[in-house]
């Protein structure tokens, strides 16, 4: 072919290609406009064919092409249940989601406000569960799981709820999913808490709080929220994972959150965890295990180690008080008081140790041959109870009940007068108590 002829052919080809491209673009814009306006008017039937043409020929033209498609197809599915074409429209709905996820990176590069692939996957799961002729719960759960584990606290509140709901549905079909369901609840709850903390608008906080309330209700009604259920789940698995520290810590965290720290599973997880990595929580778990088995000395030893390993004073106080109650249970009164006093030294606003000391004194009020002087022990007891109320108002109700009881045992003024004591005098209570108080 001659050079001039070749150049002419190339120019003609380029012109034809350009004209074809312009024609396609023009047709895409026309079809997009027709379908979009029809959707806005609620005329989904007339919107359908031009929308399909846009999806086929120019999938990157408009982001709203996809939202229009969802509206069109969901309208058909809502109005055509039981008809032969239902399955076709359902398949097209799923395909529309798949095409949107495929082109999301390119759409995001050119259009603002395009949601992530993971969010779209969750919306696909929602519509799948609503419209699928025979929905597969496991498939929907997998899609939700993939979405929320990528988005975490950036997930929409509704998606976080539907995720746990799908996990519950899976549990109802497969009891072996119980452990994972509990973990899903814990993760979901944490993401909701994070979303509430990050929200700057009260309306958003309120919406996520509503989601959290619904998650709690769903979990409670699931039948997995009991200590017996957790014991059943973890009893055998702890032994199989006794060298898996991450698993043991997960068990401890879950059982503590559910206030199931008196179950055998909790004790075993604490023991194996302590052997691998001594921590305050693990040592405390071992202490409770020893106490349950009746080994008081071991229990106190583990509480001592927990106190040493713990960094926070309030927690140290709680551990010291726990050791005091263990010792009190076997009437080792003086050591029990020492640990109660240690608890107060860590947290001076902790009322419970004062109440414990008062009860310890009440179990052993006699220190003198004179019955009236022994009754003076109850003045010290009342001192401790009044102190508990003063430092810790949350103890007021318990302290007041005991005050009403123990006040009846204080001596009458004439009993002490015969012994040379009167109201306002200071008196030292002897014996192991060895405290000074004022006669009322």
Q: Of the ranges 174-183, 277-286, 311-320, which is most confident?
A: 311-320
**pTM of the predicted protein model:** 0.63
Cα(436)–Cα(439) distance, integer angstroms: 10
Cα(223)–Cα(403) distance, integer angstroms: 42
Reported confidence tier of residue 24, pLDDT bands at 50, 70, 90: low
pLDDT digits (tens, 9 = 90+) for 318-328: 999 999 999 99
How much is the pLDDT for 10? 34
Using alpha carbons, select from 328, 319, 189 the residue that is nearest to residue 257: 189
The Cβ-side half-sphere exposure at 390, using a 13 Å CA radius, reads 8
Report whether pLDDT(352) > 90: yes
Average pLDDT for residues 4-28, to the nearest whole number? 50
Listing DSSP states for 399-421 in one string gives HHHHHHHHGGGSPPHHHHHTTT-
pLDDT digits (tens, 9 = 90+) for 108-149: 999 999 999 999 999 999 999 999 999 999 999 999 999 999
Average pLDDT for residues 10-20, to the nearest whole number? 39
Write down the domain spans for the chain. 351-440
Q: Which alpha helices (H) appear in 152-226, and where do they start and end?
A: 157-173, 178-198, 202-220
Average pLDDT for residues 303-307, to the nearest whole number? 97
Q: Output the six-digit token pair for 206.
A: 């309120």
Reported confidence tier of residue 253, pLDDT bands at 50, 70, 90: confident
Average pLDDT for residues 280-309, to the nearest whole number? 94
CA 341 to chain centre: 35
Reported confidence tier of residue 224, pLDDT bands at 50, 70, 90: confident
Reported confidence tier of residue 9, pLDDT bands at 50, 70, 90: very low
Is the C-alpha dihedral spanning 214, 216, 217, 219 positive or negative? positive
């Amino acid at each position: 072919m001659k050079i001039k002829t070749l150049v002419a052919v190339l120019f003609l080809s380029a012109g034809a290609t350009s004209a074809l491209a312009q024609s396609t673009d023009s047709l895409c814009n026309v079809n997009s406009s027709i379908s979009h306006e029809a959707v806005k008017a609620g005329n989904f039937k007339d919107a359908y064919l031009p929308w399909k043409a846009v999806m086929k020929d120019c999938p990157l033209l408009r982001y709203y092409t996809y939202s229009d498609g969802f509206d069109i197809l969901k309208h058909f599915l809502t109005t055509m249940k039981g008809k032969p074409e239902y399955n076709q429209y359902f398949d097209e709905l799923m395909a529309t989601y798949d095409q949107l996820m495929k082109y999301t990176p390119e759409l995001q590069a050119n259009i603002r406000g395009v949601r992530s692939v993971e969010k779209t996957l969750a919306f696909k799961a929602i519509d799948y569960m609503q419209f699928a002729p025979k929905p597969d719960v496991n498939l929907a759960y997998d899609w939700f799981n993939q979405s929320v584990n990528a988005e975490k606290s950036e997930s929409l509140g509704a998606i976080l709820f539907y995720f746990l709901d799908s996990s519950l549905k899976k549990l109802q079909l497969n009891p072996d999913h119980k452990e994972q369901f509990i973990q899903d609840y814990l993760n979901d709850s944490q993401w909701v808490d994070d979303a509430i903390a990050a929200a700057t608008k009260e309306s958003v906080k309120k919406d996520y709080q509503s989601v959290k309330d619904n998650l709690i209700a769903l979990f409670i009604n699931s039948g997995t929220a009991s200590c017996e259920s957790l014991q059943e789940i973890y009893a055998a698995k702890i032994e199989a994972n006794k060298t898996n520290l991450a698993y043991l810590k997960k068990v401890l965290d879950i059982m503590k959150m559910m206030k199931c720290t008196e179950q055998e599973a909790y004790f075993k997880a604490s023991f194996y965890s302590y052997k691998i990595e001594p921590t305050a929580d693990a040592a405390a778990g071992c202490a409770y295990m020893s106490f349950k088995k009746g080994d008081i000395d071991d229990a106190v030893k583990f509480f001592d180690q927990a106190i040493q390993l713990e960094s926070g004073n309030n927690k140290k106080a709680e551990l010291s008080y726990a050791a005091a109650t263990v010792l009190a249970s076997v009437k080792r009164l003086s050591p029990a008081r020492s640990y109660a006093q240690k608890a107060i030294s860590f947290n001076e606003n902790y009322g419970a140790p004062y109440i414990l000391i008062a009860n310890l004194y009440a179990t052993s009020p006699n220190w003198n041959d004179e019955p009236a002087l022994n009754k003076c022990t109850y003045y010290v007891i009342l001192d401790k109870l009044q102190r508990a109320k003063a430092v810790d108002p949350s103890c007021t109700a318990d302290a007041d009940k005991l005050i009403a009881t123990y006040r009846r045992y204080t001596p009458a003024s004439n009993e002490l007068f015969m012994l040379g004591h009167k109201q306002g005098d200071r008196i030292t209570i002897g014996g192991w108590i060895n405290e000074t108080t004022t006669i009322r």
